[in-house]
Structure 1
Amino acid sequence: MLEFNETQHTDRITLFAEVILPLAISKNYTYRVPYELNDVVEVGKRVVVQFGKSKLYTAVINDITEVAPERYQAKYLMEVLDDRPVVTTQQLDFWKWLADYYLCNTGEVMAAALPAALKLASETRIMLNPDGEVDRSLLHDKEFLIVDALDIQPILTVSDIVKLLGQKIVMPVLKSMFDKNIIHISEEVSERYKPRKRAYVRLNPFYQDQEMLKELFVQLERRAPKQADAVLAYIKLSREQKQISKNDLMEASGVGASIIKSLTEKEVFFIEEKNVSRLYYEDNSEFATFELSDVQQNVLEDIQDQFKQKEVVLLHGVTSSGKTEIYIRLVEEAIAAGKQVLYLLPEIALTTHVIERLRKYFGNDIGVYHSRFNDNERVEVWQKVLNHEYKVVLGARSSVFLPFDNLGLVIIDEEHETSYKQFDPAPRYNARDAAIYLANRYQAKVLLGSATPSFESYFNARTKKYGFAELTERFGGVSLPETKVVSITEEMKRKTMQSHFTSVLMEAIEEALKSKEQVILFQNRRGYAPVLVCRVCAFTPRCINCDVSLTYHKSSSHLHCHYCGYKEESLSICPACGSTHLEYKGFGTEKIEDELQVLLPDARIARMDLDTTRARNAYQNLLNDLEEKRIDILVGTQMVAKGLDFSDVTVIGIINADSLLKYPDYRANERSFQMLAQVSGRAGRRGKQGKVVIQTYNPEHRVIDQVIRNDYKELYLTEIEERKSFKYPPFYRIIQMDIKHRDAEKLYHQAEYLGVELRKHFGDRVIGPEYPLISRIRNFYIKSIMLKFERDTISIVKVKAVIRDVIQEFQTTKLSKGCIVQPDVDPY
């Protein structure tokens, strides 16, 4: 053992800190604590350490000991960054569980869990905060040098700043500048902070005098009556609210932006642009109230009773049955008991929609957290949860990593959604399952909610592992939508198809438009056309990095790969045979939007898919336009299926149901039912019964019939027998291993070797290696091995220990050079 206690320091204790580095290394590293930092080191604090020859990292202290590492001489840690821990001991335990369960390293969990600004490293990028106002006279020398350098070069790395200041320890300086809002820290330069601004209107104080205002009004009424309307609307609004936004004034007065501009030029109004915080709501002095229906009240009481015996309860409620109101009552209970609440949603975009509803009840007690927030905002939320300033956190899957210390309730809405699963990079966790474990550590209760539960959750409810509650009717007695299934084949025979739209769907759309109602059309493929084909030689352009055909996007006139982002210009001549007879096969949301513009030129049509919602607030802007009836028809991918609630949407069209039903996956029928039922549920949510039109080549398909009858139970009973017969979840656990290499031949030998080694331990539970559906992505060839294990008769902990050993042994061989092995627990 290495001895560090020197004679001149016999009265001091030599401490060693085991730290978690944000790297994929299998063991934590240990550093020696300088004597002067003995009193400030603490588990959960961040420290600056050197790892390797020159790289600096922010690490988190996992343990403090007096025992030196045996195999290597510990380096000194350089600096302690925090006055108090930013990561709780409960979080560190949670990180360890995630690493063990999902077969990854604690460092990979740390990299996913901490906001970028809390884990500075040598290559972390630093830029001036565009929203921060810097008083340079208050900066000390080092801060001034950094700001000066950023004026010349807008982006610097931590390494650049080390050279600039001529010292290794720069993290405390950067942390101080970040806290003062001088700099913005990011791992992704593209996500620069852009503050949300809102225009507010203020009346010129000159017209506060009633006589002056009256004289102005008389003049305007005579010369510019619309301007008079705007002034009158302002006066009425000012009696009800302190601040009047430009949009509110335009809506109340019925005038356009040009009228407000004219009044501004005349200095009747002043316009002020204000930053609107994403973390606070300006005026919530009055909270909304509501009464539960008798059915909802009975279900709420049932859930409360079941929570006395069960830790987890599944709420199976049909679409628009009023699940959110029940969630709100449970949240109110938890807050009254002094507990924190985690409210999970599957989509980043949904949080903005749901928060507008929940803010009416909880105001500034709600925090929002998801990956679209920039690093400044994510750190702010992190600190507020740590300081108990938020009683409720609403967010996407990454919210499970926040530093709760008094969690009382976890609500997981749309618990069946695949969006809760993280696929890349590690940890490949499922936020639903992780949240259930997290709640268990705090003795908190979990409510899972869905109109179409996952088979695993429903199975657990039927076997009494979970409690179960059911809402079988829509709120307010509204009927479920009328569903029509239309055969595309029959309509094509009768020649009644208009492009990709059957006569039944077109008639329903036209009726809705005449009645000033709205329509949502669902097509689960983005782009204009999935395939470009030469009619002479059948050549199809393919991605140079992946084994997939390129999708044509009309908006960019380019062919796109949806896996790696590769683009190339569209073709007019076949590069294989020189023919000019190229045609587009299939259709995506872009083509549907394009053709609708031709068929319905007067309709206001918008598209919601990954391409139109890349910008930070694009999704919310689309939802606002839909809510304010500036959109008649919304065309979208699965984004439109998730949680949208708009009173005037009465028609839903599913353009091609077969693309869901024919997917080669054992979950295809379950996922198809979920998607079709969820999309259908967007129609007729208040008052009037909605209408759903499902277009398909196979109208007799069992799943479509079950969707029409809304018979989830029959679907479950049919599918669960097949799962049992073919050894799939929930009866078996699945671990998938993807083996990747840039050389196809080397990959073959590596995958075969791993397969043989795994069979030595697990026998015929090992399936493969096989090529997956897409066998090359980003120039890496892929082979997959699937392992199936009985849920009740085999120790999954021992299984995972063996898998770790096999992977570790493989990585010590020469054969593993250039190979990546990615285990994925519960991959689907």
Structure 2
Amino acid sequence: MIAEVAIPISIALNEQFDYSIPASLTPKVSIGCRVLVPFRTSIILGYVVKLKVHSKFMRQLRPILKNLDSQPILDDELFKIAHKIQKEYFCSLAQAIQVILPIGVKNTKSAISEDQEQPKQTIPCFDIKTTEEPKSHIVLIQDLSNKTRWIKYAAFIKSTLNAKKSVIFLIPDHEKINSAIEFLNLGISPFIITSSISAQGSLRAWTAIKKAPYSFVLGTRSAIFAPVNNLGLIIIEEEEHFAYRQDQVPHYKAFEMALERIKEHKAKLVLGSFVLSLDAYYLYKKHKASYICLERPEPWPKVRIIDMRQEYVPKGKEKIISKSLEYQIANILQRNGKLLIFVNQKGFSTFLYCPKCKKTQTCPRCSSSLKYHFKEKAVICPSCTFKTAAFDICPACRSTYIKYSGYGLEKVESELIRLFPSLKIHSYEKREAVLPPYDIMLATAQFLENPYFNTYSFDTVCVIACEQMLGHMDFRSTEKTFSRLFKLRSCASKEIILQTHVVENDALQLLKDNDPSAFFKEELKARKELKLPPVARMAALNIRSKNETSAKNKANTFYKKLKKLTGNYEAFEPMACVPFKVRGNYRYQILIKYDSLDSIQNIIKAMASERKQNVIVTFEP
């Protein structure tokens, strides 16, 4: 008997390898089991993906050394998903399998003990009111109150569990697990699957889920692969969150995997958030999903926009707090009000500049501008781990003057202390049980990651330099900015003040409407004109090399290959990524718009599989 074994190596060797099955292991080895096999001079872990009788390498076959599992660790459904990941995200089959498996399985070469104590889950029969549920298999919930959706989630979960079907509930961050359990208030201890739990903990949960006839699973992105039986419901909380896309190869999205699983089980998928993504809204407009909007009971605060172009700024100076905003702050504090001032950047200065040689100080490993952090007295690269002491001498020309320009949270705090010396200012860093007394709270985007952010009450929210959020090289920057501002608006009881140089931007002007759908309609119109996702599909080929010329030449070679092919797609000339250099690698990007990848899938796979090419394929970048 012969086994085809998938081995977790680079896509450059994207194939399975044949091994003979010794007579002593023949009854034990089955598809989906982990085995130890010799590979070159090492003994490595592999996964049995096929059994057969013949091989064209019969005389050269090496034997499987050990079978680690008495029962397959992957069922047919998860094997199908592994093959889909392999095909659509250009990785090896073993890499796809490892994405699915928990840490306690993929990172160990030891056998799984069936006798270990496993967590048990007691699911009661819930007393629920009979309500009419949406007939669509995909349901969108936009919760403008930012709390009512949890009641809806609980109702869906109770109904599903009463039908003796399994539920998978995804959250973007493991730190939100306790708050999710609190908000749902089901009285059930869910099986937890996250990358933060121990290897043994993940293994025990995985084994218990496989054995349970139905179960309730709560976890982060990887929980979408939980081996539940009789799946009835998947809920993705904060569905727009970036954490639902894996940032390493393969770059799969939890939403795409959820669609595959609900098709297999004819289950329901619920996408919920305070402000939905444009991709989710597009599903509704294409009549592929039901839409529920939960209105805010309180009146919305006013929106005031301050145009910084009208502000007088002396030559060579920068204005952080406008005169108008300064007056507003003084007026609010005089009434003993509370303020939240939001700044998109951390640190003190966002770039360092030498007036003599005209050079911006960049990271030696990246092309990112270094940022100065006053509290640490250090300059730090935002793209990698580089950190060094602050310097006063230009490394390029040895000039004795470096200009620290731009501003982040620390410089805004310094300016507020200068303008209002008697103020009590608190900088938000993480959720605190007891807040110190304060007049003004300063915060970055980390504040919005707090699941209790809307429980903070401020009279007024001020956003400094909105253009910092809009200036990213990302066609989704307007959408992300709008979502962030809408969340901040919910924290104010009276007014939100936006200080900016780009007053006309839709993300700012349409914030005055109390319904995000007005923004979605305008943004969708712009995406249609430019043929951008979600209207069109897009892929990005990222070519990396330690040598700049080599990276450029490889990118041009790949582009020429793509242009020679015919198909329903459009490839754009290679462009330098932003930042151009990260961790010592120079990066070029080729964007491809397409209706179907069938016509160019083989050539892209060949490019990604070439050894030493360092090509990464990302879909919907």
Is TM-score (shorter-chain normalized) higher than 0.5?
yes
Structure 1, unaligned runs of 5 or more = 1-14, 122-169, 182-278, 292-296, 609-621, 812-816
Q: What is the CA-CA distance between 1:41 and the residue it aligns to?
A: 1.9
Residue pair 1:311, 1:440 contacting (<8 A) in 2 also: no
- Matched with 1:607 is 428
The question of 1:767 aligning with 2:590 is answered no
* Structure 2 counterpart of 1:544, from 364, 368, 375: 364
Render the CA deviation track for 1:177-228: whole Å, top value 9, x for unaligned. Answer: 99699xxxxxxxxxxxxxxxxxxxxxxxxxxxxxxxxxxxxxxxxxxxxxxx
How far apart are the structure 2 equivalents of 1:822 and 1:568?
31
Q: 1:373 to 1:679 in 2, by over 3 A?
A: farther
- Structure number with higher relative contact order (C-alpha < 8 Å, ≥ 6 residues apart): 2
Instruction: Tell me the TM-score normalized by structure 2.
Output: 0.88
Moved more, 527-536 or 542-551: 527-536
Render the CA deviation track for 1:408-462: whole Å, top value 9, x for unaligned. Answer: 1011122222332223x21111112221222222221001123432222212211
Describe the SS at the equivalent of 1:771. Answer: strand
The question of 1:437 aligning with 2:251 is answered no
How far apart are the structure 2 equivalents of 1:285 and 1:178?
23
Equivalent AA in structure 1 for residue 71 of structure 2: R
How far apart are the structure 1 equivalents of 2:100 and 2:347?
33
Residue pair 1:500, 1:655 contacting (<8 A) in 2 also: no
Q: RMSD of aligned C-alpha atoms?
A: 3.5
- Matched with 1:381 is 205
Question: Who wins on radius of gyration, i.e. which is larger?
Answer: 1
The question of 1:758 aligning with 2:562 is answered yes
Q: How does 1:255-294 map to 2 (within 5 A)?
A: none
Q: How does 1:344-359 map to 2 (within 5 A)?
A: 344-358=170-184
The question of 1:637 aligning with 2:441 is answered no
* Structure 2 counterpart of 1:401, from 222, 225, 230: 225
The question of 1:697 aligning with 2:501 is answered yes
- Matched with 1:257 is none
Instruction: Tell me the TM-score normalized by structure 1.
Output: 0.67
How far apart are the structure 1 equivalents of 2:231 and 2:7?
27
Q: 1:478 to 1:538 in 2, by over 3 A?
A: same
* Structure 2 counterpart of 1:363, from 171, 188, 192: 188
Q: What is the CA-CA distance between 1:693 and the residue it aligns to?
A: 2.5
- Matched with 2:98 is 111
The question of 1:623 aligning with 2:431 is answered yes
How far apart are the structure 1 equivalents of 2:416 and 2:306?
19
* Structure 1 counterpart of 2:20, from 32, 51, 54: 32
Equivalent AA in structure 2 for residue 31 of structure 1: Y
- Matched with 1:668 is 477
Q: How does 1:334-349 map to 2 (within 5 A)?
A: 334-349=160-175
Residue pair 1:21, 1:110 contacting (<8 A) in 2 also: no
- Matched with 1:372 is 196
Render the CA deviation track for 1:602-633: whole Å, top value 9, x for unaligned. Answer: 6362433xxxxxxxxxxxxx3242xx445756
- The sequence identity of aligned pairs, in percent, is 23
- Matched with 1:524 is 344
- Matched with 1:569 is 389
- Matched with 2:300 is 480
- Matched with 2:605 is 804
How far apart are the structure 1 equivalents of 2:120 and 2:461?
35
Q: 1:66 to 1:564 in 2, by over 3 A?
A: same
Q: What is the CA-CA distance between 1:71 and the residue it aligns to?
A: 7.6
Describe the SS at the equivalent of 1:434. Answer: helix
- State the aligned residue count: 611
- Matched with 1:166 is none
Describe the SS at the equivalent of 1:774. Answer: strand
Equivalent AA in structure 2 for residue 320 of structure 1: N
The question of 1:20 aligning with 2:6 is answered yes
**Structure having the larger proportion of residues in helix:** 1
The question of 1:737 aligning with 2:531 is answered no
Q: 1:640 to 1:367 in 2, by over 3 A?
A: farther
Q: 1:381 to 1:603 in 2, by over 3 A?
A: farther
Q: 1:178 to 1:406 in 2, by over 3 A?
A: closer
- Matched with 1:294 is none
* Structure 2 counterpart of 1:457, from 280, 292, 296: 280
Q: What is the CA-CA distance between 1:531 and the residue it aligns to?
A: 1.0
* Structure 1 counterpart of 2:289, from 444, 463, 466: 466
Q: What is the CA-CA distance between 1:784 and the residue it aligns to?
A: 1.0
Q: How does 1:701-720 map to 2 (within 5 A)?
A: 701-720=505-524
* Structure 1 counterpart of 2:31, from 29, 43, 50: 43
The question of 1:100 aligning with 2:87 is answered yes
Equivalent AA in structure 2 for residue 533 of structure 1: Y
Q: What is the CA-CA distance between 1:737 and the residue it aligns to?
A: 0.5
How far apart are the structure 1 equivalents of 2:503 and 2:345?
21
- Matched with 1:187 is none
Q: What is the CA-CA distance between 1:714 and the residue it aligns to?
A: 2.8
Residue pair 2:348, 2:372 contacting (<8 A) in 1 also: yes
Residue pair 2:214, 2:231 contacting (<8 A) in 1 also: no
Residue pair 2:139, 2:291 contacting (<8 A) in 1 also: yes
Residue pair 2:353, 2:405 contacting (<8 A) in 1 also: yes
Q: 1:731 to 1:489 in 2, by over 3 A?
A: closer
Describe the SS at the equivalent of 1:765. Answer: strand
Residue pair 2:120, 2:208 contacting (<8 A) in 1 also: no
Moved more, 651-660 or 93-102: 651-660
Q: What is the CA-CA distance between 1:373 and the residue it aligns to?
A: 2.6
Q: 1:315 to 1:72 in 2, by over 3 A?
A: farther
How far apart are the structure 2 equivalents of 1:714 and 1:351?
33
Q: How does 1:490-501 map to 2 (within 5 A)?
A: 490=310
* Structure 2 counterpart of 1:314, from 110, 127, 140: 140
Q: 1:603 to 1:384 in 2, by over 3 A?
A: farther
Render the CA deviation track for 1:314-357: whole Å, top value 9, x for unaligned. Answer: 22332426111101110111111111111122334333432332
Equivalent AA in structure 1 for residue 502 of structure 2: N
- Matched with 1:76 is 63
Equivalent AA in structure 1 for residue 265 of structure 2: Y
Describe the SS at the equivalent of 2:431. Answer: helix
Q: 1:807 to 1:539 in 2, by over 3 A?
A: closer
Structure 2, unaligned runs of 5 or more = none
- Matched with 2:590 is 785
Moved more, 106-115 or 329-338: 106-115
